[in-house]
Structure 1
């Protein structure tokens, strides 16, 4: 198994800029980077505590997405992995539900896939482009 650490916690938000400002002002997080431009259907922002960039908060904006129940705004739990192709095959062999049909990529080279935990919670295996 090549699971290393908690990568990030994904939180669904309704207005990305407002949420970025909130997490910076109230929690002291710093904005690391964003993916997607204003007006796009999917936009992401990654924040962390200064000096503690090993675990991130990912703010997820999805245009016209159905509203979630208040207890469902934490969208997923992500773990850093190496050799994501091997991990994808291992999860497939375990027969876990909700596995994405393929490994997906972000424009910055990060690769990821989702599957379900025992109670339907979404788990993401995430291979940052910076990890070989």
Structure 2
């Protein structure tokens, strides 16, 4: 068996519309569609990066609001070309930061964490130059 790609990452959210707005306006994703689960309770929204549908984010409303922000999925990382520009943009937009500065790893990769609308950890990640 060979895994071909990461299909999607599911994030439980309290307000689907608020989260769709965040992921489209702040992250820059495209909203691919919304549906009600077959159980009639859970609502799902699917989003993808503007230039790709390789990996999707699935927002899940109505599943379990009592789970902690740092749960089974610790964070989602987004690859960016200029982490400093993203840090400035996210800061200027007033998005709450988890990190007050950009961290540089020993290999030269750089990143920072910030919070989504439900307190989920999100990361902007710039890979090391090759």
**Taking structure 1 as the reference length, what is the TM-score of the superposition?**
0.49
Greater strand content: 1
> Which of structures 1 and 2 has the larger relative contact order (alpha carbons within 8 angstroms, sep 6+)?
1
* Larger helix fraction of residues: 1
